[in-house]
């Protein structure tokens, strides 16, 4: 009887200690993850502040310089999927990091040598036109294709929030 009671108490207290240790480990892991997410958020805020103040982005028709700027930021921040720029005239310019994940490469039908995808949306007399430009690591164009689109940048929530 005494042995059974001792074994039962040992089991109970062993379980309690295991739960306490697990809770401490989970709390430490959660705090570490939270701190890392805060750091990522701070980096994002700093990058966006630098981009907003960059006069190159205000220049219409300067897409080559904007492309170099965006690819530089994306190379240094591999967590970013892409960076985009919308204008009041409805035009849209986005650079996508095709090395960010395999899904984007597959969904845009990019080949292994494609490093970047540039999406442009512009207004035409017959409606909006979206152009896909596939670019390699040296920023050389491999392929350009276009299709009609109903995408309207000025109606996007992120655009409205930025105005």
Question: pLDDT tens across 30-52, in order?
Answer: 778 887 777 777 777 777 767 77
% of the chain residues with pLDDT over 70 = 91
Average the pLDDT over 99-113 and give the result.
92
C-alpha pair distances (Å), 126 with each of 66, 87, 129, 148: 27, 19, 9, 9
| For range 56-64, the mean pLDDT | 81
Q: Which residue has the higher pLDDT, 149 or 102?
A: 149
Alpha helices in 53-78 (DSSP H): 63-76
What per-residue string of b and e applies to 32-55 under the rule 16 or more CB within 10 Å gives b? Answer: eeeeeeeeeeeeeeeeeeeeeeee
Partner residues linked to 122 by β-bridges? 129
> Higher model confidence: residue 162 or residue 154?
154
SS3 73: helix
Task: Evaluate if residue 161 carries a pLDDT over 90.
Answer: no
Q: Can you tell me the distance from the alpha carbon of 74 to that of 83, in angstroms, rounded to the nearest whole number?
A: 8
- Report the side by side order of strands in the sheet with 116-124: 82-86, 92-97, 116-124, 127-135, 141-149
pTM: 0.75
Average confidence score pLDDT of the chain = 85
Q: Are 56 and 65 in contact (CB under 8 A)?
A: yes
3-class SS at 127?
strand
The pLDDT value recorded for residue 29 is: 77
100 CB-contact burial (10 Å; exposed 0-12 / middle 13-18 / buried 19+): middle
């Amino acid at each position: 009887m005494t042995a059974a009671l001792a074994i039962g108490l040992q089991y109970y207290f062993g379980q309690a200690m295991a739960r306490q240790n697990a809770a401490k480990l989970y709390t430490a892991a959660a705090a570490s993850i939270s701190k890392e997410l805060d750091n990522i958020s701070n980096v994002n805020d700093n990058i966006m502040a630098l981009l907003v103040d960059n006069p190159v982005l205000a220049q219409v028709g300067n897409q080559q310089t904007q492309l170099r700027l965006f690819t530089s930021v994306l190379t240094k921040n591999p967590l970013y999927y892409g960076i985009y720029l919308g204008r009041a005239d409805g035009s849209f310019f986005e650079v996508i990091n095709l090395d960010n994940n395999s899904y984007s490469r597959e969904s845009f039908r990019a080949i292994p040598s494609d490093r970047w995808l540039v999406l442009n949306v512009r207004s035409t007399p017959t409606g909006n036109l979206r152009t896909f430009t596939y670019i390699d690591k040296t920023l050389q164009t491999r392929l350009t294709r276009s299709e009609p689109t109903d995408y309207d940048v000025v109606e996007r929530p992120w655009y409205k929030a930025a105005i």
